[in-house]
């Protein structure tokens, strides 16, 4: 199976109740050869309308965050979510919704095969790193899990709500840049390759 086949399978999914209320399935975006995977919690209203992750105000902030350390969704990262359909009223995805969608993310991860996974926010971190993860205490901390280096930082939507977190989020990004250099992660894809 390749990413396109998985995307088509995901578009047809009705494993949980979110499939009945979505406008679009939001599979993922970015360079499928990227060695860095960013994972959010789930699509919001703008993402549900467009079918693309992180396109609203939080997505615009994420793009600026990536650019601050010379990363971009077009060139050298891939962006996905824990759930591929919008939870009503942008609530956190329920445990059963996460469980239903997690096989898609696992397959995406296997197909992309990143070296680094960055969880954006508590939902992604508690799903992928540790169910007891506390974002205020453990953001920016690195974990090695199943052959991947993983960390978490604040979700861009949280930074829009609380600007006081931006300094810590930027420190997390600098830590990511350092880990990229330490691991020799490839970020030099041309736009034609991406």
Predicted confidence at residue 192, as pLDDT, reads 55
Q: What domain count does the chain have?
A: 1
Residue appearing with tokens 């939870």: 87
The pair of structure tokens assigned to 49 is 């309308």
pLDDT in tens, 152-188: 999 999 999 999 999 999 999 999 999 999 999 999 9
Residue 160: inside a domain, yes or no? yes
User: Could you tell me the pTM of the whole model?
Assistant: 0.96
Residue 187: inside a domain, yes or no? no
pLDDT in tens, 139-153: 999 999 989 999 999
Residue 191: inside a domain, yes or no? no
Query: How does residue 109 score in pLDDT terms, banded at 50, 70 and 90?
Result: very high
Residue 9: inside a domain, yes or no? yes
Predicted confidence at residue 182, as pLDDT, reads 97
Q: Tell me if 116 sits within 8 A of 67, measured CB to CB.
A: no
């Amino acid at each position: 199976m390749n990413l396109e086949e998985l995307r088509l399978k995901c578009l047809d999914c009705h494993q949980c109740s979110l499939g009945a209320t979505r406008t679009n399935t939001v599979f993922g975006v970015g360079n499928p050869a990227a060695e860095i995977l960013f994972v959010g919690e789930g699509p919001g209203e703008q993402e549900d309308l467009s079918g693309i992750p992180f396109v609203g105000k939080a997505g615009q902030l994420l793009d600026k965050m990536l650019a601050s350390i010379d990363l971009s969704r077009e060139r050298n990262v891939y962006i996905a979510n824990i759930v591929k359909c919008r939870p009503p009223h942008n609530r956190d995805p329920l445990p059963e919704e996460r469980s239903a969608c997690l096989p898609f993310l696992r397959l995406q991860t296997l197909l992309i095969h990143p070296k680094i996974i960055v969880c954006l926010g508590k939902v992604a971190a508690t799903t992928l790193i540790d169910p007891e993860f506390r974002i205020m205490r453990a953001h920016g901390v690195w974990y090695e899990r199943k052959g991947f280096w993983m960390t978490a930082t604040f979700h861009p939507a949280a930074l829009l709500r609380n600007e006081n977190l931006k300094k810590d989020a930027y420190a997390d990004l600098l830590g990511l840049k350092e880990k990229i250099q330490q691991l020799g992660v490839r970020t030099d894809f041309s736009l034609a390759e991406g």
